[in-house]
Structure 1
Amino acid sequence: MEEGLRERKKRETRRRIADVAMWLFMSRGFDNVTVAEVARAADVSVNTVFNYFGTKEDLFLDRRDDLRDLRTRVVRERAPGESVVAAFRRDFFQALDEGDWRYGFNEGAEVWGRLVGESASLAARARELESEIEEDLAAAIAEETGADDDDLTPKLVAQHILGLTRLLGRHYTLRSTAGEPREEILADLRERARAGFDLLESGIGDYGRRSLGADAAEDGEAAGDEEDDHVEGDQR
């Protein structure tokens, strides 16, 4: 029980520091706040802050471990008969309906996105996190499917799924930042998400196939007629 109490207090301290830091970042901007100021506002020492967070960027991305875990859990906890893409489709729409933070659909997500865009170091760390999540997901897919070490399929699947969900999340953030009504954004995003996941499930082989056009179609028909004439001639 004593060990459990210590762990609970550590979690509470970590959460308090992260909450205070986020409040300061949102109020003044990420680059305009120092770790020392976060420590003073949270009533802890600077060393205590760094005991919980390795860098200032980690203070902002305090839920990074949760994000990495949530993506792999979608794969590991999918239902019997459910594909990886179908599992992510289900999880994505659930988050969209609930306004959950895991895909960036919570209120205030546009502020989070703005702060990342304003700071070069924070944007770089966010890209690193995206790469880490992608590697984690690819490893989970490989483990779940029994893929060989040299099989590139798990990495390809992970890239496509996360590429789609990131694109949709950023689209939501951009429109929210522009002040569009939330319900209008969500209604449109649902259609875009359905189209995107349909592409992932069915493949993109036919996407962007160029139409023949009228002249090309006529040429094709003429070629077909000539071929028929040759066939008839051979038969005679």
Structure 2
Amino acid sequence: MPRTSERGGPRTRARISEVATRLFLERGFDEVTVAEVAREAGVSSVTVFKHFPRKEDLLLDRTDDATELLRAAAGAGPDVLAALRETTLRLADERHALSGLAEGSVPFFRTIAASPALVARTREIAAELQRTLENELPGDATLLAAFFVAGYGTVLVGTARRLIAGDPPHAVADDHRARVENLFDALRHGV
């Protein structure tokens, strides 16, 4: 297979991610090596690691998107909860990958659940996102950031479980949206 440009920036990154995701979903995360991903993508292992510092990030590659969404919501004005609510509901309505409602999410969720390394990395990413939100908000926002990230994580896990169980996607999406609304009611008014 001819080698693609080793410098290729976003296109190379996207190709590596696409190949890795396909291989992980077909064979399981723990069964695929970085060398196999590199070979299939037509790049070196060094190039893979330049774009993805950890093997887990080859599949969990939306952290930058989530970080930017949190930053935008935090900077949207004085009512951060309204901005976060609007963002999470928009993601659900668009069936964005970060909502857990995107088409094809079930194999993704199964792959994560089957790998302790991926489960651990999702927890690390949640902690990183919590710190990002804390740093973007004025004052001591530790509790708000912790409650939002934990609450949204709980919504996502519930959505994943229902989709894996075979519940109808439209019913899962309606329930997801209702649980997001409940999360923001609890954040604004308490439990």
Relative to the length of structure 2, the TM-score reads 0.90
Q: Which residue of 2 aligns with 1:56?
A: 55
> Match of 1:99?
95
* DSSP-derived class of the 1:106 partner: coil
The CA distance in 2 between the partners of 1:53 and 1:192, in whole Å, is 33
Shift of 1:90: 1.2
Aligned pair 1:172/2:159, yes or no? yes
Residue 72 of structure 1 and its aligned partner are, at CA, apart by 1.9
Q: Matched residues in 2 for 1:111 and 1:184: separation?
A: 19
Query: Bigger shift: 84-93 or 14-23?
Result: 84-93
Question: What is the letter of the counterpart of residue 47 of structure 1?
Answer: V
Q: What are the Cα deviations for residues 92-136 of structure 1, in whole angstroms up to 9, with x where unaligned? A: 111111111223221122222221111111211111111000000
Residues 39 and 49 of structure 1 are in contact (CA less than 8 Å); yes or no, is this contact kept in structure 2? yes
Residue 82 of structure 2 corresponds to residue 83 of structure 1? no
**Alpha-carbon separation, structure 2, partners of 1:22 and 1:117:** 15
Q: CA deviation at 1:26?
A: 0.6
**Which residue in the other structure is 2:126 paired with?**
130
Taking the TM superposition and a 5 Å limit, the aligned residue runs for 1:73-222 are 73-78=72-77, 83-142=79-138, 147=139, 151=140, 154-204=141-191
Aligned AA (1:194):
E
Structure whose alpha-carbon radius of gyration is higher: 1
Q: Give, in whole Å, the separation in 2 of the partners of 1:98 and 1:63.
A: 16
- Change in 2 beyond 3 A, CA 1:37/1:84: same
User: CA offsets per residue over residues 170-192 of structure 1, 9 Å max, x none?
Assistant: 11111011111111112223333
Partners of 1:85 and 1:161 within 8 A in 2: no
Aligned to 1:227: none
Task: Flag structure 1 segments of 5+ consecutive residues without an equivalent.
Answer: 1-5, 205-236
CA RMSD of superposed structures (Å): 1.8
The residue aligned with 1:34 is 33
Q: Deviations over 1:123-182 (max 9, x none)?
A: 11111111000000011013xxxx2xxx3xx01001111122111111111101111111
Q: Which structure has more RCO (C-alpha within 8 Å, separation ≥ 6)?
A: 2
Matched pairs, number = 186
Residue 25 of structure 1 and its aligned partner are, at CA, apart by: 0.4
Q: By how many angstroms is 1:67 displaced? A: 1.7
Q: Which moved more, 1:56-65 or 1:38-47?
A: 56-65
Give the equivalent residue in structure 1 for 2:18: 19
When the two structures are superposed, what TM-score results if normalisation uses the length of structure 1?
0.73
1:9 Cα deviation from its structure 2 partner:
3.1
Kept after mapping to 1: 8 A contact 2:38/2:48: yes
- Structure 2 residues without counterparts, runs of 5 or longer: none
Query: Quick one: distance in 1 between partners of 2:54 and 2:91?
Result: 29
- Whether contact under 8 Å (1:110, 1:174) holds in the other structure is no
